[in-house]
Structure 1
């Protein structure tokens, strides 16, 4: 009898364990760790578009495993609306992304992929994705973005945030909100200046990344006046002083104040990630940055200052020669 009771108790225990495991098991398409890349798919994609998106985003994996995550209107509401967006649970999502975690210190790399030969991300640039990601607290990752239809690209970024949360790396909502404000600000300034001679989105985003790096060096107690000085300096070093108007500069300063207030500067990795972004931007736009310090591209005020310095240097040398 004792043996029979022991068998019954053992069977009951096994059934309880099996039942618990089944109840708490993850869906097959949910990511459980960063052992494999995560592909976020817009919920509005047709079956054909979904297959095309998967093929586009995972081509670099050469058949390696990946997990998938669906991004819908509710995802947009959760991550993007706190920054002022007006998405609803019924909002469509087409832009998609693949998020591939990389080794520590590798930085944030973003590549927008053509879908059937066309770049359908109409508003957000690769460099804007990078800057928003570092503000949100994203670290060391390759992000591939595409869309089956022309769209601004917000869904892909919300997918990045969702993928991190799905892997247990939930990002700070205050930083995500600051990142979205940054995205909107830089996108508007880029649109306003895109036809100006001597301007590029790479220069603007490099100036912002460099500003973040310098802000991180001073820490979370940095003042608005200090941020203003940093912005003036990074705009000048990227030859944007005479292109970015005072209103746009104020927008950049206010945007970076929000980055400070979000708590982003408290992160030990923020400075490193911002520095990596600046280096990455410059590497990808060598044709632009190699010309910034050449004589023909220096701005008018710089040339005047050089002339003044040269004049007084010559005068000083002449006076010295007179008395020798």
Structure 2
């Protein structure tokens, strides 16, 4: 009798586990199905001809696969970009457009700016700046393609990416979106200020920021302002920007990373991995630059230095 009761309990537990597994698997599959369909975001100011040309440009990487579209208007710019200090209105024009495509776990954030009729019309924001902003906003494992039918800075494309996430029921944390917008404005401004200087590239700056995010994540959400400043100093040196980045620009980077910490971005368990993956992608995309910078002597010295600092701070919190 006792054995029969035990067997009955075991069978009941197995039944519950199987039912739970079926429920979770079904819902997990639904979530993936929602996010796997690429979303094309189209600027609301495009003419009918430009709209079709934009769709043709953005969907080329899909090779005929299905996609869905949403239109991005001035209202979206107000909703997603104004909280960080921009001054868009509901009547603001939107021409830059994007497509976001979810990818397998661990693949990181990939961004490619596509030419429209043979011309790159995104005048201000670089692919690496889009990548860093997407990471800060909470986007993970995605291919993002950006284009514009007319010369434009590219803000509308990023608002479209945020809207695309909301469409699939994955609304992003507004504080992280605000930090992402402040970051993209800061980094694009620094690049504009240094664009004619020898020894400076946008890739070095964004690699330094991605590296700093990765090191911050190792310490955790309780990382102090002074720790962030030390990490930024070392990342600037590792990327050989010490003679280029001014103290004011350095302070801007530190302040942005403090804002990113305060936004709660570091609490995301994927943040560290995505930041490390982003750094690898930036270096691979500018291999000719980083091959010259990352000589064994340079890398060994600076990497050992930053590793020792991070390990010290990490041990304090343990």
TM-score bucket (shorter structure): 0.7 to 0.9
Structure 1's unaligned 5+ residue stretches are 1-31, 303-324
Residues 11-70 of structure 1: CA deviation (Å, up to 9, x unaligned): xxxxxxxxxxxxxxxxxxxxx811311000000000000010000000111111100010
Cα deviations by residue, 1:213-255 (Å, 9 ceiling, x for unpaired) = 0001111110011000000000000000010000100000011
TM-score, normalised to structure 1, is 0.81
Partner of 1:287: 288
What is residue 233 of structure 2 aligned with on the other side?
232
SS in 1 for 2:101: strand
Counterpart position of 2:263 = 262
Q: Are 1:94 and 2:95 an aligned pair?
A: yes
Matches of 2:38 and 2:252, distance apart in 1:
36
- Counterparts of 1:294 and 1:266 in 2: how far apart (Å)? 34
| 1:74-223 to 2 correspondences below 5 Å | 74-223=75-224
Q: What secondary structure, in the 3-state scheme, does the structure 1 residue paired with 2:293 have?
A: coil
CA contact (8 A) 2:186 2:253 kept: yes
List structure 1 runs of 4+ shifted beyond 2 angstroms.
none
Greater Cα offset, 58-67 or 146-155: 58-67
Alpha-carbon deviation of 1:85? 0.2
**How large is the RMSD of aligned CA atoms in angstroms?**
1.6
Equivalent-residue separation in structure 1 for 2:113 and 2:141 (angstroms): 17
Question: Alignment length, in residue pairs?
Answer: 268
Secondary structure of the equivalent of 1:159?
helix
Query: Could you report, residue by residue, the CA deviation over 1:165-196 in whole angstroms, capped at 9, with x for unpaired residues?
Result: 11111100000000000001001000000111
Taking a change above 3 Å as real, the CA distance of residues 294 and 275 of structure 1, as seen in their structure-2 partners, is closer
Contact (CA 8 Å) 2:135, 2:275: kept in 1 or not?
A: yes
DSSP 3-state at the match of 2:71: strand
Does the residue aligned with 1:105 lie in a helix, a strand or coil?
A: coil
Task: From the two aligned structures, give the one with the greater helix fraction.
Answer: 2
- Partner SS, residue 68 of structure 1: strand
Q: 2 CA distance for matches of 1:170 and 1:294?
A: 42
Cα distance between partner residues in 2 of 1:283 and 1:293: 12
Query: 1:41-52 alignment to 2 at 5 Å?
Result: 41-52=42-53
CA distance in 1, matches of 2:163, 2:75: 11
Alpha-carbon distance between aligned partners in 1 of 2:295 and 2:168, rounded to the nearest angstrom: 46
1:310 maps to which residue? none
- Alignment of 1:73 onto 2:74: yes
Report the Cα distance in structure 1 between the residues aligned to 2:173 and 2:255, rounded to whole angstroms. Answer: 20
TM-score, normalized by length of structure 2?
0.82
Offset of residue 294 of structure 1: 4.3
